[in-house]
């Protein structure tokens, strides 16, 4: 069996990468053991160890989430070490994850769109997360011209290749409030949902969020 590497390597701030990498980590952890690395500062010995493990372990799943503040350093390391080519030659599988959102008021639309379009890797599989939980949706931003990311002209060619798109719908105010509190708690979905001290409505909302998001991830074939 081959190893799987899921990597979040994207420079934009405040687009939901932390939340989405958390969702993926939770989903995969419910099925098997995973190796999770959150890159928050330059630490080449640690990065070397992570990739040594990736190439030497068998039937393992790795998630690497790179914080925006460390994007340039890790991108340089990844490129200079020729890891993309090495992963491809090793027979292991790479999943490149990108997060797309117009942002809270449309401020992230162009920058995020342009980055994803220009950085779709030729190697590996691409997963684009359309994050509508931050405020402005594509339909609102385009004033009704486009409803979802697949409608944008820039993505017409990309989506026909090895790309999968996961669309996270906008949540109501109370769902967003409970979700924000949950993320700050540091608990897993199961811990929070089955914790009797938590409010029953809070637990039910988390259960619904987990059910929906897990369904989207499963349908994407991850």
- Do residues 114 and 176 both lie within one domain? no
Kindly report, residue by residue over 185-212, the tens digit of the pLDDT. 888 999 999 999 999 999 999 999 999 9
DSSP H helical ranges for 81-163: 83-90, 109-119, 138-141
The pLDDT score that the predictor gives to residue 215 is 92
- Do residues 197 and 104 both lie within one domain? no
Domain region containing 190: 172-222
- Do residues 87 and 164 both lie within one domain? yes
For residue 49, pLDDT beyond 80: yes
Last residue of a domain, one of 130, 149, 170: 170
Rounded average pLDDT over 134-138: 74
First and final C-alpha spacing in the chain: 16
Kindly report, residue by residue over 176-187, the tens digit of the pLDDT. 888 888 888 888
Kindly report, residue by residue over 167-177, the tens digit of the pLDDT. 887 778 888 88
Question: Residue 31: pLDDT band by 50, 70, 90 thresholds?
Answer: confident
Rounded average pLDDT over 4-12: 93
- Do residues 27 and 59 both lie within one domain? yes
- Do residues 94 and 156 both lie within one domain? yes
- Do residues 186 and 103 both lie within one domain? no
């Amino acid at each position: 069996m081959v190893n799987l590497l899921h990597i979040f390597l994207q420079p934009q701030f405040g687009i939901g990468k932390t939340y989405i990498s958390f969702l993926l980590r939770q989903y995969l952890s419910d099925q098997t053991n995973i190796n999770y690395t959150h890159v928050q500062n330059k630490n080449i010995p640690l990065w070397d160890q992570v990739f040594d493990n990736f190439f030497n372990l068998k039937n393992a799943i790795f998630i690497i989430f790179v914080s925006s503040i460390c994007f340039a350093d890790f991108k340089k390391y990844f490129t200079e070490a020729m890891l993309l080519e090495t992963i491809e030659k090793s027979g292991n599988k790479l999943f490149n994850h990108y997060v797309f959102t117009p942002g809270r008021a449309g401020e992230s639309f162009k920058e995020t769109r342009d980055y994803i379009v220009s950085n779709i890797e030729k190697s590996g599989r691409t997963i684009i997360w359309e994050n509508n939980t931050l405020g402005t949706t594509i339909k609102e931003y385009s004033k009704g011209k486009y409803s979802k990311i697949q409608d944008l002209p820039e993505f017409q060619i990309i989506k026909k290749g090895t790309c999968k798109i996961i669309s996270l719908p906008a949540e109501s105010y109370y769902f967003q409030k409970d979700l924000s509190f949950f993320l700050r708690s540091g608990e897993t979905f199961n811990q929070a949902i089955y914790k009797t001290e938590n409010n029953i409505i809070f637990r039910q909302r988390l259960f619904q969020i987990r059910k929906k998001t897990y369904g989207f991830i499963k349908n994407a074939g991850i």
